[in-house]
Every structure is written in structure tokens, then in C-alpha cells.
Structure 1
Amino acid sequence: MTLLFPGGLIGAAAGLGTVLVLARLRRINRPSLELRVLPYLRDVPRLARPALADEATSSPMAAAAGVFGPALRAAAAAVERVLGGASSVRRRLGRAGLDKSVHDFRVEQVLWGLGGFALVAAYCLLTSLGGHGDTVSSLLLCATGLATGVLARDTHLSSQVSARERKLVAEFPVLAELLALAVAAGESPVAALDRVVRRSGGELSRDLAVVLAAVRTGTPVGEAFDRLAASTGVPSVARFAQGVAVAVERGTPLAEVLHAQAADVREAGRRELIEVAARREIFMMVPVVFLILPVTVLIAFWPGVIGLHMTTP
């Protein structure tokens, strides 16, 4: 009789767990409404809508925000209130080519801050276990680690923007020459753009693919290139987009414009390379002065020093 009641409890718990697992598996395996409806809506054009600042996308950071709930959202909102600059962040996200909203970026900043806080807290804990910790200094260090992590994500975004813009500058002359060749061969600007986008890859090709998609959905060619000029942060690409827009609107020779812009970008890159080499000339002398020269002097004078020691009584 004593074993009957615990056995009944264990059996009931096992049965309830089995029912819950089966119900969850049935819900997971059930196709979603999106999968059931989308095959019948593939030919319907998707209407574009403006992205909101607080709209969460389907990124892992948005998933983390959904799992941990109000805590991350409240922390992200607090970071937004303290730092501000949502328009600047949105513009830099676009220039970096990241498909994220400002909300996702703020959540990433919170997670980076929590990572910095955890590292500093672990260090402070080890220090306190060694008997050298102080509560006030530990709290200050943890707060500093939190703020450093939040600001480090913003700095990393700026570095991502700079890296992508360097790739744009490096890819621009080749794509401009390809467009010029296609236009000179008799193709229209849209057909030349389609040919170049299909046969190239890279950051600039992705931006041109966005322009091509806008043109195919009914946007005038000049307006689409004007949007590219307004959104990019690379002056050469902005001049290229504005030149193409003006050439299409006024009927000026587009091939000559593209050849001239590609030549200008190559010349600007050559000048920048010469300037960088001139600035780093001092750094190039560091291994010569501190490594090669001392070894040369040692090789020249060491036999004489040894000879003096051998001849001295």
C-alpha cells in the first residue's frame, strides 16, 4: 500500500510528460500558415512598406529578444534613450549592407554590454577570492565593462561601414568599365546594368542589383540612381550614380561618362597609395634602425673586441 501512491504519482507524471511531448511534436510538425498560403501567392507582387525603428526582423538578435522578453527590450529602449541617434544608426546599417533594424542593433549593443560586464565581473570575482577585491572598485569596473561593450558594438559598426566602402571603391572601376563596354556595344542602360549584375559579384554589384530591382518595379532609372547616390557614403559611387541619372535624363553619351569616372577613381586610388606610402615611410625605417643596423654594427665590431681581449695581458 505504501508503494502504490508513489507509483501512481510517477506513472501520472510520466503519462502527462508523454502527452505534452506528443502535443508539442504535433504542433512542431504542423505546417505553418505561411507555408500553406505562400505557394498560392508567389505571383502576387509584394508591397514595400517603410521600416520602422522599433520593428524587429527575423535575425538571431530578434529571436533572443523574443526569448528573453521584456528585459532585453527594456534595456534596448534604455540604450536608445541614452545614446539616441536612431537615424544615424539606420543610415550606417544601410551603408554597411546589414539587413537589421535599429531595434536589432540596440539588442546587439545590450548583449555586447552584458558580455563585457560578465568578463569584468569574472575578473573581479577572482580578485575578491584572492583577498584583494574592493566592492566599490568592482562595481565601477563592472559598469565600465558594460559601457565599453555597448560602445564597442557601435565602433564595430563604423568599422564594418569603412570596410564595405573600401570594397566599393576597389570594385567600382571594373564595374564602371563593364557598364561602359555594354553601353558602347549598343545596349540600353537597364540591359547593361542587368548584364553586369548577373556576371559580377561583390558589394557594389549588390547595390546595383537593388537599383535594377527598383527599375523593374516601375521606378524611373534616374530616380533609382538618385536614391543610390543619396544612400551611399562613397563619393565616387555617388558621382557615378548622379552621372548616370543625368546622362539618362538628358541623353548625354553614357559610355564616355563611365570611362571618365573609372579613370578618375583609378587615379584617386593611385594618389592615395602614394600618400599612404609617404606616411608610412617612418614606420618602414623602424626595422632598419632597430634590427638591421645593430646587427650590422655588432658584426663589424665584435671581432675587434674579441681580438683586444685576446691581446690584452
Structure 2
Amino acid sequence: MIGAVVAGLLATGVLLTVEGWRRARRPSLADRVLPYVRDVHPAPSRPAGHLLGEVFGPSWRRLTSAIGESLGSNAAIARRLRACGLDGDVEAFRLTQATWGAMGLAGTVAVSIVAWSVSHPPAVALLLWCAAGLVGGCLACDQWLSARVRSHEARLRAEFPTVADLLALSVAAGESPVASIERVTRVSHGALSLELGRVLAQVRAGDTVVAALDEFAARTGVTSIARFAEAMAVAIERGTPLIDVLHAQAADVREMARRDLIETGGRREIAMMIPVVFLILPITIAFAFFPGLVGLHLSSGG
């Protein structure tokens, strides 16, 4: 164990030396331009964690980028991050994914050390186990993001009819679409109100309402809400009555939710037959026939 620790430290020192020599030999464009554009004031003192990030940051980012590209494209990750309302970029998610992979690798390495000290299994099996821990941690992070996207979309579907009715009432009261969105985001709390708040922020930043709604339709993964945003953008652009559009969209979503509930109940009906046939029915038959069997045994014995 001591030899392994010493070898690891020696390998780390060699890698750091080679990396420093390579960076000093071929400086990047940022390293060449930064001395001419940065402030002339002396840089403040940096904590040790920031210095470690400066030392290991480039190599760590390249490693995470390579692992991320092997597990999925950056475009898909960016689309899912936008769909679930996260403001983090793809590089930050790749760092999180690599951290999960490192945690999985650390766990499998600990288990491998214990297994090696107890029964000495084949080294190839331990290496495959450690690789599976690394890949499993990265895949678990990806599945966590997918689960978060599904949860966010479910909240959007649940809140959409009420928010659409509130928008219709505000427009019917004489307010403009932007004022209606502002009122709804002020009085409601939820995933859809946060998305509408992002639309309102884009409008205040200088975008048109139609452009902000189109971007919202492209960003969300819920078909009904995307169709609602597109219909609202078309109604604003062409000047068609917006109240009828909002009420029709809310009614369509409620009808879709009712139809999905009926279909889910129909699918669960077969699954509900399993405990009835294999658990409740045998117990009922046993309770029905057991007294008769006991009576027959008593009468035959008498």
C-alpha cells in the first residue's frame, strides 16, 4: 500500500512537470494576449482551492469534455438544460458529470481494495469493475438530468390550464399581453410562471413578444405548451382575438389530461389483476374451503 501511494505521488509529479513544460513551451492565445489587456492593478491573493483549479483546470476540462462527448453530444445536453430551466452551461454540467464519475470510480476502487485483501480476485475483473464504476457514475448523472427534465415538464403540464385561464382573464380585462404575463408571474408560483418570467425578461431586454414566445416554444419540451406559445405569438402578430386562443388551448390541455388519465387507468387495469388473481383470490378460496376441509377431517376421524 505504501508503495502504491509513493508511485501515485511520483506519477502525479511527473504529469504535473510534463503539463507545465508543455504549457510553457506552447502558450495558448489567452496566455499571450492576457498580459496586454488585463488591468494593471496587482492581482489579489487567491485561495488554495482557486490555485488548484488553475493548475488542474485545463486538464480536468479536457478530460470532462472527452468523457462527455463519448456519452452524448453537447447539443443534446444544452437542449435538456434549457428544457428544465437550468442556467448552467454545458461545461459546468460536464464537470458535474465527471465528478459523479470520479465518485463512482472511488467507490469501486475502495470495493476492489477490500475484495483484493480478502479473496484476491483476478486483476482484470477488478479493472473492469472500476471502469464500470466510472461509466456508471457518468451515466447516473445523465439520468439525473433526464429525470429532472421529465419532472419539470410534468409540472409545466399540471400548471398550464390554470395559467392559461389567468392569462385569458387578464387579457379580457383589457390588459396587453406583456402586462398579462407580468401579472400572472407576479401572482403565481411554479415552473410555468418561471418560464413566463424568462419570456418577460427577454421582452424587457429588447426582444419582441413574438420572438420571446417563439424562443419559449423552441425551448420547452412539452408539445401542448409549445403549441400554446406559437398560437399566442401568431395571435399577437396577426391581431387575432387572443382570449379565444387562450381558452381553446386551456380546454385542449384539460381534454388531453383527461384522455391520458383514462389511458393510464386502462393500462393499469391489467396490472391490478396480478395481486387480485395471485394474492386475494387464493386467500379467499382458502378461507372458503378450509372450514369444510376441517369438518371433513373431523367427521372422518369420528
Rate the CA distance shift 1:219–1:284 in 2: closer, same or farther, 3 A.
Answer: same
TM-score, normalised via structure 2 length: 0.79
Mean alpha-carbon deviation: is it higher for 128-137 or for 68-77? Answer: 68-77
Are 1:151 and 2:142 matched, yes or no?
no
Match for residue 217 of structure 1?
A: 205
Rate the CA distance shift 1:294–1:138 in 2: closer, same or farther, 3 A.
Answer: same
Are 1:282 and 2:252 matched, yes or no?
no
What's the C-alpha RMSD, in Å, of the aligned pairs?
Answer: 2.1
Q: Is the 8 A contact 1:65 1:73 kept in 2?
A: no
Counterparts of residues 128-207 of structure 1 (less than 5 Å): 128-207=116-195
Give, in angstroms, the shift of residue 115 of structure 1. 1.7
Equivalent of 1:240, from 222, 228, 253? 228
Give, in angstroms, the shift of residue 219 of structure 1. 1.5
Match for residue 258 of structure 1?
A: 246
CA distance in 2, matches of 1:282, 1:147: 37
Are 1:87 and 2:92 matched, yes or no?
no
Give, in angstroms, the shift of residue 91 of structure 1. 0.9
Give, in angstroms, the shift of residue 73 of structure 1. 2.0
Q: Which runs of 4+ in 1 moved over 3 A?
A: 62-71
Rate the CA distance shift 1:221–1:81 in 2: closer, same or farther, 3 A.
Answer: closer
SS of the residue corresponding to residue 130 of structure 1 reads: helix
Task: Count matched residues.
Answer: 253
Give, in angstroms, the shift of residue 176 of structure 1. 0.3
Are 1:102 and 2:90 matched, yes or no?
yes
TM-score, normalised via structure 1 length: 0.76
CA distance in 1, matches of 2:192, 2:262: 25
Q: Is the 8 A contact 1:65 1:107 kept in 2?
A: no
Q: How far does the alpha carbon of each residue in 1:101-153 deviate from its partner, in whole angstroms, 9 at most, with x for none?
A: 11111111111111222222222222222215221101111111111111121
Q: How far does the alpha carbon of each residue in 1:48-96 deviate from its partner, in whole angstroms, 9 at most, with x for none?
A: xxxxxxxxxxxxxx99966853453232122134235111111110101
CA distance in 1, matches of 2:171, 2:102: 53
Match for residue 25 of structure 2?
A: none
| Structure with the larger helix share | 2
CA distance in 1, matches of 2:241, 2:51: 50
Mean alpha-carbon deviation: is it higher for 276-285 or for 256-265? Answer: 276-285
Mean alpha-carbon deviation: is it higher for 67-76 or for 197-206? Answer: 67-76
Mean alpha-carbon deviation: is it higher for 102-111 or for 65-74? Answer: 65-74
Taking every aligned residue pair, what percent have the same amino acid on both sides? 52
Give, in angstroms, the shift of residue 241 of structure 1. 0.9
